[in-house]
Amino acid sequence: MGILMSERRLTEHQAFDVLRRHSQDNNIKLRDVARRVCERGSL
């Protein structure tokens, strides 16, 4: 969430919503979305 917060200037809640929506839209587990953000540095 911190990466998205600094990259997109989001609040903690907004960053979580971005991760959650991406997870749901792409049928990927939330933990896997978070791992990818950490590895790549962006969504």
Q: Which residue has the higher pLDDT, 42 or 16?
A: 16
| Burial degree of 37 (CB within 10 A; 0-12, 13-18, 19+) | buried
pTM, whole model, 2 decimals? 0.86
Instruction: Report how far residue 8's alpha carbon sits from residue 26's, in angstroms, rounded to the nearest whole number.
Output: 20
C-beta of residue 25 within 8 angstroms of C-beta of residue 10? no
Q: Take residue 7 and report the two structure tokens written for it.
A: 């990259």
Residue 34 CB contacts under 8 Å (≥ 6 apart), including other chains:
1, 19
Domain ranges of the chain: 2-40
Residue-wise pLDDT tens digits, 16-39: 999 999 999 999 999 999 999 999
C-beta of residue 7 within 8 angstroms of C-beta of residue 40? no
